Amino acid sequence: MPRTSDPVAALVSLVARAKRGDREAFSGLYAQVGHGVFLFLAGLLRRRDDAEDALQAAFLNAWAHLPELRREERFLPWLFRIARNAARDAARREARWPQPLADRGEDLVGPEDPGGAEGGAPHDDVRRLVADLKPDTRALVLLRAVEGWSAEEVGVALRMSAATVRRRYARALEHLRTRLSEGSSPHERDRRQHDRIG
């Protein structure tokens, strides 16, 4: 979320204008929070195509129902609830009509080359470990670490206290550090198991 002198007031102003049908204001809302919503969806769904489809569905739904939002300051949690529902719809569609992962676009949190050479790049191990987190935790980590949102901003969006966000984020980082130091990504564990069997 862009840092301004009063980002909350700026967001509320845009929401109020968008509720009156101002498309330029709604475009401004997308510019401010769209990438954060995309990262949240990427954390839940992993695949770029799935996340992009859910993002489009979420913002179209938000535009259609924005006049029903009673309190402009509640826009972020309201929008993220719509985004979560869009992710659930995408997951249900995938369960009904499964596609090979390769046909669903880039895996945004898994290794870049799952079938690559042994060892892999260090950042691939990080991506594997992030992919191994629970979807909600993965989304929280992406908002904090990649998008740079504060604990307070993430808390507002995900409807939890800033203290809870900090605690879950710290726990996730500690989990990732421990697993990295042990070389215990799922890929590494599978390889060690294979070596023992071999």
Q: What is the pLDDT of residues 123-141, one digit of tens each?
A: 566 677 788 888 889 999 9
* Amino acid code (one letter) for 109: V
Tokens 């609830």, located at residue: 81
pLDDT band at 93 (very low <50, low <70, confident <90, very high): confident
**Among 31-45, 63-77, 124-138, the least confident range:** 124-138
Work out the average pLDDT over 50-78: 95
Q: How far apart are CA 127 and CA 173, in angstroms?
A: 13
End-to-end CA gap in the chain: 50
Residue 150 main-chain phi, psi, to 5 deg: -75, 165
Q: What percent of the chain has pLDDT over 90?
A: 48
Whole-number Å distance between alpha carbons of 37 and 187: 29
Q: Please, what's the b/e burial string for 6-15 (b: 16 or more CB within 10 A of its CB; e: otherwise)? A: eeeeebbebb
Mean pLDDT of the chain: 81
Give dist(CA 146, CA 139) in Å, integer.
Answer: 10
Give residue 153's Cα distance to chain centre: 14
Do the domains spanning 1-108 and 110-198 agree at the CATH topology level? no
CA 59 to chain centre: 15
Confidence band of 107 (pLDDT split at 50, 70, 90): low
Q: Please give the CATH architecture assigned to the domain spanning 110-198.
A: Orthogonal Bundle (1.10)
**29 to 18, 114, 156, 168, 172: CA distances (angstroms):** 9, 36, 16, 27, 29
Per-residue pLDDT, averaged over 179-188, amounts to 64
Q: Residues 64, 35: contact at Cβ < 8 Å?
A: no
CA distance 89 to 60: 14
What CATH number was assigned to the domain covering residues 1-108?
A: 1.10.1740.10
- Residue 30 contacts by C-beta under 8 Å, 6 or more apart in sequence? 59
Domain ranges of the chain: 1-108, 110-198
